[in-house]
Structure 1
Amino acid sequence: MSFINCAIPNCIYQALVERGRCGLCCRQYCFYHLNDPVHHCCILRKTNKWPGISLLKMKEPEISQLLSLLDEKVIVSEIETYIPDHKVTKVHIKSTEDTIVELRGGFDLLIKIDLEDVGGQSQSWFMRIRKRSSGRPYPDEVLRMNLESEVATCQALFEGGVDVPQTFPRPGDSKQHPKLIYCYQSFIPGDAWPPFDPVTKFNDPPNPPVDYLTLNHIKSVAKWFIQLEKVQFDKIGSPSFDTSGKIMVGPLVEGEPTKAIPPYFDGPFTSLKERYLNVIDSKLRLLRNRELVGPDSEIYSYLVLLELREIVENVKELEKKKGPFYVRHADDHSDHCRATEDGEVMGVIDWEWAYTTSKEEAFSSPDTLLPRVLSRTDDDHILTHREEALIQAYESLNRPDLAECVREGRKYSRLMRCLHHAWASIHDIRAMRKGFKVDLVAGEAYPTEESKEDWVERMKLKYADDEGLKWVLDNPVFEPELPEECLEVK
C-alpha cells in the first residue's frame, strides 16, 4: 500500500510526504494542488481570510471513530494478563467534544487505565493508539512499523535499567478491531521542567540564565543519559523484533518515510555516512518525483540537500563503522522528560521515532537545551548556560567523554534537524561546514555573510551539472492565478 492520494477528487498524484497538509481543512494535497485555487483554502490564505486551525476539525472524525471501536472488556483482559495480581478499577473512555479537543497528544490517542494490586496499591497505565490525522497520514503498515520500533526501544531500555515506560505490544491474538494500532505503557509521574516549557522557551532570551533548581534538574538529566549509555547496539537503525521476538536493529523508522511505496524505510546501516547519504538521496529522489514538498520550497530544499551531501561526503569521522551504537530520542524536547518539583528526572516518554547512532550524536545536547534561535547564528563556540551546565554535570560525574559530546555536538544537532525537515538556514550550513571542517577538505571558503537569494544563485552555479537540479529548474510549476471574483474586497 502506498501513501494516500491527493484530496482533490480524481487526482491520481500522491499527497506530499512533508508539508502537504492544509491547516484549515486538514486534508493532504499533492505538489500540484497544494496552492491551486481548486483547493479552496489556498484562496483564503492568499486573500488574508485565513480563519485559523480548528483543533476539533484536526481530530475528527478519527477520535470518535477510534473510541467507538474500543472494546473495554478486551482492554481489561489484556492489561490484567500483562500485569498479574492487578485488577483494573477504571478505563477512562469518553467521547464528548470537550474530551476530543483535550486529547491532543501529537500522534497518539491516550486511554488511561487505573489498576490496583492485592494490597490496595494503585497505579496507572496508558493505552497508546496511533492516530492517522496527526499531520502524517501514513499507511497502516508504516504506523505498525513505527509502533513496533517504539515497543522494542522501550523494552530494550527498560530491561537495561533506563527510566522509560514499561511497554507491552498489542497481543498477537487481540480481539480489538484491526484498525487499532496500539501498545500499553506504564505511567511516568512528574511534569515537564517548567523553565524548559516550549511556550516559555519561545519567550526566552537567546541565552536564559540557569537557577539552582534547574542546575539540579540538568544534573539529573546527565545521570539519566549515563543510564542510557549502558544499552548498546551493533548497527545504526531503529530497534525492532526478529521473527523469534528477539530485539534487533532493523530499518531506520524515521518521522518521514524515505520511500512512498514499500518497504518505506531503509537500513540498518554500518556507519553514519551510509545512513546520512541514504536519507539525503532518498529525499532528493522524492523531490525529483515531486512527492516531498510543495512548489514554494522545492528548489531551496533541493539545494540544501546537495550541500548536506557534500558535507557528509567530506567528513572522515562519519565513515567509522565500529560500534557500539546508542539510542537517540528523535524528539527530545522538554515535554518528554518528566521530572519532580525539585528537578529529579522520573523518566523519558514518547520513543516513537527513536534510532541508534554513534556516541557523538547520541549524547550531543538534547534539543531542549539548545537556543531557540540556533538557525539564526553560525557561531557554535558560544554555548548556552544550559549546555554549559550539562557539560559541568558530566564532568562532576567523572564523564569528560560525555561532556565533550555536548561541547562538540551542535554540528550533529543541526544535521539531525536539517535532514529531518529537508531544510536548513544558511547559518546552519555555514556552521556545519565549520564544525565538520568541510571547507578545509573541499577547498571552498564559505562567505561569512550572504543573503538567501545570493546563496541560491551561487548554489545553482555550483551544482549546475547535477541532472536532478537541471530537471527541477527546467520544469518549473507556476501557481495558477486566482479568479478575479476571489480578489474582490468583501
Structure 2
Amino acid sequence: MPFYKCDATHCREPSVRGEGVCFLCNSHYCAAHMKSGVHTCTKLAEEEYAVASARASENEINALLSEIRVDVLRARAMSLRNGISCDIPPLDYNPATALMGGMNYHFPITFQDGVTWLCRIRRHNASSPPMELRDRILLSEAATLRFLANTRIPVPKVYDFAISSPNNPVGVGYILMEKLDGKPLPPWSTIDVDRRKHVLAQFVEVFAELEKHPLPAIGSLRHPEDQSIGPLTIEQFADADEDGHAKSLGPFSTATEYRYETVRRQMELVSRGEVHHTNAVDSYLVHRYLLECVPWFARQEEGSGSAYYLKHMDDKGDHILVDDDFNITGIVDWEWAQTAPKSEAFAAPMFLLDVGSYYDGKNELSEGEELFASMLEGKGHRELAQFVRRGRVEHRWASCLGGDAGFSDSLRAMFSGLRGSLRRDRDWDGWRKRSLKKYANDKGLKLLTMKHTII
C-alpha cells in the first residue's frame, strides 16, 4: 500500500514520492495529476512560486512550534539537570537564524551555568512519512547516538527523547542533545590540501573505530533503551500495510537477503507508479538486472561472516563538524543510520567523490579517495583501504537502487557506471534491447510496458 494516495478528486492512484508532493497546498498527486490543470500550483510564475514557497515554509514551522508546550519542556530540561534554570528563546520562525534542515528543526536550551543543549524536532509537511515511521526514525537516531557514545566517535550526548504521543506532555516528538561546537565541513573542493589531509587523518580513526563495533544483523538500531537491530528506517524502503500502518524491511540476517529484498521493494514501488514514473520501464529493467547481480555481491562478501557495521547514510560532508583549525568536533545527523555489509559500510564517504565525474558515469577514484585509502594503509588498516578502493561498485549499486534512478540521464549514467565497475560493456541501447527480450514474460514488465505505451 502507498504512503499517500492522489488528492485529485475521485483519483485513488498512489501519489508519486518526492515529485508528487506539493508543499504549497500540502497535497499529494499521482503521475497523471501532478502536472495537470488539477494542480494549480504548477501554474505559478517563478517569482510567485518562490514567494508562495517561503510562505508555506513559514506556516509549516510556525504550526509546528505552536504545538510545543515550552513550559513543560523547560521543566523537563531543568529536572534532568537537578533544577538548574534554563532559557528557551521565543519560538517564532526566522529564516535568517533558524537551525533547520530538510527534515528537522532545532532550537537551543541555555542553562544558567552556560551549558547549552539542542532540542531536535522532526518537521512535518506533505513530504513527511506517516507519523509511525517518523517516530521510528527518531527512536533509531537516539539509539544510534547512545550506541556511539560508547565509542571514540565524537557525537552529541542524548539526554532525553520522546515520540509524538498523547502521553507526551511536551506536545511533539523530540531529542534533547548536547550542542557541539563547530560548523559543517565546507565543500571538499574548497579545502586546501593540508587541511584535507588533517581531516582525513581524523576520519581514518572514525573508520577504524566503527570496525571495532560489529553488529549481528542488517537494519537500524531500534530503541535507545535496548539497542537491538530492527527494520531499516530509511523511507526509500518503507511502505504501508493494508491498515495504513508503516512497515519497513528487515532486519536481515544475511547480506544476500538484504540486497534481494531492497531491490524487490523498489520494483514494487516502480510498478505502482510511486517512484521513477518518467522512466518506469527502464528503471524496472535496471532493477531486474540488480537482482541478477546479487550472487556476484554474495561471492565478494564470502568470508565476512555475520558481522555488520554501522554506516552514516547521508555522508555528503555537512554531517562533519569542524573548528577553525579543521579539527573534527562532531559527526551528526545519524537519523537514517543502519548496519551494512562491510564492503558497503566502508566504501568511501560520498563527500570524497568527484561529483561531476561520478555523474558522468566515470569510475576512476578521486584524489580524495586515493588519499584516504593511502592513509588507511599507512595506519595498518589494509582491508579498510581495499574497501575504499573497490567502493565504486557499492556507490553505483546504491545510486541505481536509489533516487538517482528516477531520471533518465542519471539512470543511464549510473547504470553505465555500474556495468563498468563489474567489468561489463556499457552499451545502454544494446543492453536495453536484449533485456526487453529476455524479460518479455515478466508480469511486472508487461504491465508497465502496456501502461506506458497507452500513456
TM-score by length of 2: 0.88
What SS does the aligned partner of 2:27 have?
Answer: coil
Q: Deviations over 1:25-64 (max 9, x none)?
A: 553212331132222244558xx89844755244243211
- Hey, what's the Cα distance between the residues in 2 that align with 1:145 and 1:470? 36
Match of 1:259, SS state, is strand
- DSSP 3-state at the match of 1:274: helix
**Does the 8 Å CA contact 1:376/1:425 hold for their aligned counterparts?**
no
CA distance in 2, matches of 1:26, 1:392: 49
CA distance in 2 between partners of 1:418 and 1:394 (Å): 28
Deviation at 1:342, TM superposition (A): 1.8
Name the structure 1 match of 2:270. Answer: 287
- Please tell me whether residue 227 in structure 1 is matched to residue 209 in structure 2: yes
Instruction: Tell me, in whole angstroms, the C-alpha distance in 2 between the residues paired with 1:407 and 1:357.
Output: 18
Are the aligned partners of 1:326 and 1:359 in contact in 2 as well (CA < 8 Å)? yes
Q: Distance in 2 between matches of 1:288 and 1:55?
A: 31
Matches within 5 A, 1:104-143: 104-116=100-112, 120=113, 122-133=114-125, 136-143=127-134
The equivalences for 1:179-194 within 5 A come to 180-194=172-186
Q: In 2 relative to 1, CA 88–310 (structure 1 residues): closer, same or farther, beyond 3 Å?
A: farther
Q: Distance in 1 between matches of 2:281 and 2:418?
A: 21
Residue 5 of structure 1: aligned partner = 5
Query: What is the match of residue 367 of structure 2?
Result: 385
For 1:433 and 1:456, the matched residues in 2 are separated by 13
Structure 2: gaps (5+ residues): none
Q: 1:328 aligns to what? A: 311
Q: Report the AA paired with residue 338 of structure 2.
A: Y
Change (3 A) 1:101 1:112: closer
The 5-angstrom pairing of residues 223-262 of structure 1 reads 223-241=205-223, 245-261=225-241, 262=245
Task: Indicate the percent of aligned positions where both proteins have the same amino acid.
Answer: 25
The residue that corresponds to 1:474 in the other structure is 450
The aligned counterpart of 1:175 is 169
Change (3 A) 1:13 1:153: same
Q: Name the residue aligned to 1:39.
A: 39
The Cα offsets for residues 314-372 of structure 1, whole Å up to 9 and x where unpaired, read as 43225667232111111011111001122211111111111001221111111100111
Question: What's 1:488 paired with?
Answer: none
Q: Which region of structure 1 is more displaced relative to structure 2, 64-73 or 84-93? A: 84-93
Q: Report the counterpart of residue 356 of structure 1 in structure 2.
A: 339
Deviates more, 1:402-411 or 1:417-426: 417-426
Highest RCO, 1 vs 2 (Cα 8 Å, sep ≥ 6): 1
Q: Equivalent of 2:330, from 344, 347, 350? A: 347
TM-score, normalization by structure 1: 0.82
C-alpha separation in 2, matches of 1:320 and 1:185: 39
Query: What is the root-mean-square deviation of aligned Cα atoms in Å?
Result: 2.9
Whole-angstrom distance in 2 between the partners of 1:142 and 1:361: 24
Instruction: Indicate if the aligned counterparts of 1:273 and 1:319 stay in contact, CA closer than 8 A.
Output: no
Alpha-carbon contact 1:340-1:346 (below 8 Å) kept: yes
Residue 271 of structure 1 contacts residue 321 of structure 1 at CA under 8 Å; is this kept in 2?
no
Structure 1 residue 376, shift from structure 2 partner: 3.6
Alignment correspondent of 1:338: 321
Note the C-alpha offset of 1:11. Answer: 3.2
CA distance in 2, matches of 1:459, 1:43: 39
Separation of aligned partners in 1, 2:231 and 2:134: 14
Structure 1 residue matching 2:334: 3-state secondary structure: coil
8 Å contact 2:204–2:376 — kept in the other structure? Answer: yes
Aligned to 1:234, what secondary structure does the other structure show? coil
Code of the residue aligned with 1:175 in structure 2: it is P
Aligned residue for 2:247, secondary structure, equals coil
- SS of 1:247's equivalent in the other structure is coil
Cα distance, 1:379 vs. partner?
4.1
* Equivalent pair of 2:14/2:272 in contact (CA under 8 Å): no
* TM-aligned CA deviation for residue 388 of structure 1: 1.5
How many residue pairs were aligned?
444
Contact in 1 for aligned 2:110/2:117 (Cα 8 Å): yes
Deviates further, 469-478 or 184-193: 469-478
1:371 corresponds to: 354
Q: Distance in 2 between matches of 1:351 and 1:192?
A: 14
Kept after mapping to 1: 8 A contact 2:14/2:273: no
1:244-292 deviations in Å (ceiling 9; x for gaps): x311000111132432333420211122221121111112112222233
Deviation at 1:79?
2.1
- Hey, what does 1:482 align to over in structure 2? none
In structure 2, the CA distance between the partners of 1:477 and 1:425, relative to structure 1 (3 Å rule), is: closer
Give, as a single letter, the amino acid of the residue that structure 1 aligns with 2:90: I
Are 1:394 and 1:403, in contact at CA under 8 Å, matched by a contact in 2? yes
